[in-house]
Structure 1
Amino acid sequence: MSLAPPIADQIVRLPVDADRPLLICDADEVLVQFAVTLERFLDDAGFTVRFDSFRLSGNVRHADSGAVADDATVHGLIARFFDERVADCPPVDGAVEALAQLSRRTDIVVLSNVPMAARAARERAMAAQGFAYPLVANAGPKGPAVAALVAGRRAPCLFLDDLPGNIASVADAAPPVHRIHFVADPRLARLIGPADGAHARIDRWADAGPYIDRHMTDAGF
């Protein structure tokens, strides 16, 4: 699968040091708390969400009637969320500190399926929180973007994401990349097992930071 020009254009602008490790992190439920922020937004909009399964469809309800919101309504709410609240997601516990430590020995890129129109707002908000790293706005499976990000690198590359589909996509498109399945919100983490294609399942930065450090050390970096 080829990269869409808007995604490729972001990646080609990034500096590349082939001999420096690269850590590619999703934003939502890896670096920032998406679920709790979405709950507050939905409450303000007259909806509730129940985390009965690892998806939004079927779990968002009208607060007044309890009726399940249809897919079109959910998609519209998510679009509004990214327009209005993308800057409101607080950091995941320990993420800022872990990345600051890891950045001493690795390049870091945030790869998020945030709408392009919200990219700048998310990047500014994350930088203000302590995540002063390049952010690439992706769309769809992340394998092609990760393959482009790691092209030509000789040092270890790692990828963290909460969605099994993205882990599988990277396993297919960039097999040498070390893949960590990470789900920060404990309610969501309980709903899903380790993703197929993941080398590890880790849900806390207190564990992920040392794991990534060891992986790079074991690889000679």
Structure 2
Amino acid sequence: MTRPLVITDCDEVLMHMVVPFAQWVDAEHGVLFRMEDASFAGALKRKECGTPLEAAEVWPLLDGFFRTEMARQTPIRGALTAMAAIARHADIVVLTNVGPDHQAARAAQLSALGLDAPVIGSRGGKGEPVRRLLDERQPSVAIFIDDLAGHHHSVAAEAPEVWRLHMVGEPAIADKIAPAPHAHARIDDWAAAEDWILARLTENIPAPSPEIA
């Protein structure tokens, strides 16, 4: 058995993203971000007429933000302190869907804030990359943290032994997002989340395997 492993998302878990992104698309692209439900793409509307952006228009905006505007992001309250405490008990890997193109910039962003952890810039569901990490590292226990319910479903299907924590650390959208049904817990505050994570690490046992629909 090797050291426990915590696999965490970045945006809205470690770093604020939607608020600086909304400020940028408003100022630079004439787009309003108004999240009324769990749909990120549906929250983007043209200021001049109020029509939603097409799905094909959303990724270029996200790509542009991550390419040039990551300096606008700031840490979620308590995230870095919690990561420092967790690192005394487990290895940490940041698994973020910014894609390979922005992986190095994300690693540099977090390193500048004192979090020197491996960063994987993935695309799509996170179940497969989590499974690969488990197979490579063979941790005694593993915990996955993400703000998107779809990733919890993906991880539950591919790596059911992983404990899954649903966290939406951005207060501006947390109440718009329902608890992920395939997560073991929903906690949006890092002080409480740190306690929950450390308890799972202390127990050092795999998560119970659910039936995945």
Give the aligned partner of residue 171 of structure 1.
156
Q: Which amino acid aligns with 1:32?
A: M
Distance 1:214 1:144 in 2: 26
Find the residue that maps to 1:111 and give its secondary structure: strand
One-letter amino acid of the counterpart of residue 161, structure 1: D
Deviation >4 Å, runs of 4+: none
Q: 2:13 aligns with which of 17, 23, 30?
A: 30
Verify the 8 A CA contact 1:60 1:69 in the aligned structure 2: yes
Other-structure match for 2:211: none
2:41 corresponds to 1:41: no
Residue 94 of structure 1: CA displacement?
0.3
- Aligned pair partner of 2:80 in 96, 99, 104: 96
Residues 54-203 of structure 1 correspond to what in structure 2 (within 5 A)?
54-151=38-135, 153-203=138-188
Give the Å deviation of 1:156: 0.9
Alignment of 1:214 with 2:199, yes or no, is: yes
Q: Matched residues in 1 for 2:64 and 2:87: separation?
A: 33
Q: How far did residue 135 of structure 1 move? A: 0.3
CA positional deviation for 1:72: 2.3
How far apart, in 2, do the equivalents of 1:75 and 1:197 lie? 26
Aligned length in residues: 203
Q: Following TM superposition, by how much is the alpha carbon of 1:74 offset from its aligned partner in structure 2, in angstroms?
A: 2.1
**C-alpha deviations, 1:62-103, integer Å up to 9, x for none?**
223323222222222112112111343111100000000110
Cα distance in 2 for residues equivalent to 1:33 and 1:126: 12
Gaps of at least 5 residues in structure 2 are: 206-213
Amino acid at match of 2:124: G
Gaps of 5+ in 1: 1-17
Identity %: 37
**Post-superposition shift, 1:51?**
0.8
Judge conservation of contact 2:38–2:176 (CA < 8 Å) in 1.
yes
Which deviates the most, 88-97 or 57-66? Answer: 57-66
Distance 1:66 1:134, change over 3 A: same
Q: TM-score, normalised by structure 2?
A: 0.90
Bigger drift between 48-57 and 162-171 goes to 48-57
| Secondary structure of the structure 1 residue equivalent to 2:42 | coil
User: What is the rounded CA distance, in whole Å, between the counterparts of 1:197 and 1:75 in structure 2?
Assistant: 26
Q: Which residue of 2 aligns with 1:15?
A: none
Please tell me whether the aligned partners of residues 21 and 105 of structure 1 are also in contact (alpha carbons under 8 angstroms).
yes
2: distance between equivalents of 1:166 and 1:186?
20
Deviation digits for residues 13-44 of structure 1, max 9, x if unmatched? xxxxx421000000111111111111111112
Q: Deviations over 1:158-197 (max 9, x none)?
A: 0000011100000000010000011111232211221121
- Alpha-carbon displacement from aligned partner over 1:93-121 (angstroms, at most 9, x marks no partner): 00000000110110000000112111111
**Contact preservation (8 Å) 2:7, 2:145:** yes
| Contact persistence 1:102–1:209 (CA under 8 A) | yes
The root-mean-square deviation of aligned C-alpha atoms, in Å, is: 1.4
Note if contact 1:28-1:34 (Cα within 8 Å) is conserved in structure 2.
Answer: yes
